[in-house]
Amino acid sequence: MDRNMKTPALPPLHIQIDICPPYDREYRETAEKMVRAMIEEVAGCGCGCDRDMCGGVSRCSDPENTIWLCDTDAAIQKHRSEDVPVIAVSHEGNALEELMGTPWLILSPAALTADFLHEIYCRHHGLPLIVTGTSRCLLRELTMEDYPALLKLQQENAGNPEGCFFPTDINGSKSTSPDNPTPIPGHLPTPDRNAEWTDFLANYIAHQYPFYGFGLYAIIQKESGEFMGIAGFAQIMEEDFSGDRTFQSALTCSDNKSGEAIGTTPDQSLRAEVSYSLLRQFQHRGCAEEVLRALMAYGREEGGFERFVARIRPENTASLALARKCGVEVEYIRYGSP
């Protein structure tokens, strides 16, 4: 997938290396190759832009755009105190180092890709990643600015819990079912619940995407930039070929650059639960099918997901039809059943 599809417009990034020799050599060579590649890419892009407009990996030394590679605890602590992103580097010469204090660690220069560096920049600066898109829509990570639109989606789906983002109870009840052990979502929040949902969204953004590498995303209309709804992966399950669920996986899409199912054996596969919900004003335009097919393609490519399932109530005929049309398996949800 094109790097510019996956991230917002970024400034050129600068790689600084604080690695003990001789282990620094390969990383310096890799960084230089990335610089040359980006220069050639900009020169051949045909848009008349310069490096600052296109972004990439640069030799510039702006601290705001710097990413450090470090292989000692002291170096990590030093550069983290400067409030810049740091990638820990593990090699045979630093086995006694703990390499703690940063969420990123690599084992070889091959891990240094433009996608990886731009993701680190976005994570550090709190910028949402764009994960995929269609001719009309983009799927990007949620932001706090999406909160009013998520509340509107919650209100429109008061009778359809699977179309909501925030977990809560309906009319103060705590109704659950064997298929859905969490409280059922519903109406707009009371003032107390409003604070609870704001915290829920903030924690979701802070932890879901960096830790799991997947989640629910905002559907954005390309032409207008409007929030259209949500779609994404609710959970990932590892199964054997008999269909028995073995455990819910914490594997991340970003862990899997080969496109193969990580952590599975030849008789196991990864199954992703998909979820999708559009605001009423954007329904009946074919956008939901576009987004679902793009989401599934992204899951196959980045996560190695082989099967997709959606949990849908029998009366939600539109969602059932869409899931079946796109080849998504359906698990029926029946609330209030004995």
Per-residue pLDDT tens over the stretch 285-330: 999 999 999 999 999 999 999 999 999 989 889 999 999 999 999 9
| Confidence (pLDDT) at 245 | 44
Q: Is residue 198 very low, low, confident or very high in pLDDT (cuts 50, 70, 90)?
A: very high
Q: Tell me, yes or no, if the pTM score tops 0.85.
A: no
Q: Are residues 289 and 177 in the same domain?
A: yes
Model confidence pLDDT, tens digit, residues 27-63? 999 999 987 776 666 555 444 444 443 345 555 567 7
pLDDT at residue 182 is higher than 90? no
At 257, which amino acid appears? K
**Among 82-91, 242-251, 280-289, the least confident range:** 242-251
Q: Are residues 152 and 137 in the same domain?
A: yes
**Among 126-140, 167-181, 205-219, 258-272, the least confident range:** 167-181
Q: Are residues 118 and 136 in the same domain?
A: no
| Confidence (pLDDT) at 47 | 44
| Confidence (pLDDT) at 59 | 52
Q: Are residues 319 and 220 in the same domain?
A: yes
pLDDT at residue 191 is higher than 50? yes
Which of 96, 125, 154 delimits the end of a domain? Answer: 125
Q: What percent of the chain has pLDDT over 90?
A: 60
* More confidently predicted of 250 and 271: 271
| DSSP one-letter code for 180 | B
- Is 24 domain-assigned? yes
Q: d(Cα 51, Cα 16) in Å, to the nearest integer?
A: 18
Q: How many CB atoms lie within 10 A of CB 270?
A: 23
- Is 337 domain-assigned? no
CATH number of the domain where residue 70 is located: 3.40.50
| Region of residue 249 (phi > 0: left; psi between -120 and 50: alpha; otherwise: beta) | beta
Q: Are residues 25 and 86 in the same domain?
A: yes
Q: Are residues 147 and 236 in the same domain?
A: yes
Task: Please give the average per-residue pLDDT across 184-212, as a whole number.
Answer: 80
Q: Are residues 218 and 308 in the same domain?
A: yes
Model confidence pLDDT, tens digit, residues 135-179? 999 999 999 999 999 999 999 998 788 889 998 553 343 433 333
Q: Which domain holds residue 326?
A: 132-332
Which of 73, 107, 125 delimits the end of a domain? Answer: 125
Q: Are residues 304 and 255 in the same domain?
A: yes
| DSSP one-letter code for 177 | B
- Backbone torsions φ then ψ of 252, nearest 5 degrees: -110, 150
Q: Are residues 137 and 284 in the same domain?
A: yes
* More confidently predicted of 251 and 23: 23
Decide: 264 and 270 in contact? Cβ < 8 Å: yes
- Is 18 domain-assigned? yes
pLDDT at residue 130 is higher than 50? yes
pLDDT at residue 1 is higher than 60? no
Q: Are residues 258 and 116 in the same domain?
A: no
pLDDT at residue 192 is higher than 80? no
Task: Please give the average per-residue pLDDT across 238-249, as a whole number.
Answer: 52
Angle at which helices 191-207 and 147-156 cross, to 10° = 120
- The number of distinct structural domains making up the chain is 2
Q: What is the mean pLDDT of the chain?
A: 81
| Confidence (pLDDT) at 194 | 87
| Confidence (pLDDT) at 160 | 81
pLDDT at residue 250 is higher than 70? no
Residue 317: partners with Cβ closer than 8 Å, 6 or more residues away: none
pLDDT at residue 215 is higher than 60? yes
pLDDT at residue 197 is higher than 50? yes
Q: Which of 203, 331, 205 is nearest to 273 (CA)?
A: 331
Task: Please give the average per-residue pLDDT across 224-230, as a whole number.
Answer: 97
Q: Is residue 257 very low, low, confident or very high in pLDDT (cuts 50, 70, 90)?
A: very low
Q: Are residues 323 and 243 in the same domain?
A: yes
| Confidence (pLDDT) at 131 | 94
Which of 103, 125, 147 delimits the end of a domain? Answer: 125
Q: d(Cα 175, Cα 224) in Å, to the nearest integer?
A: 39
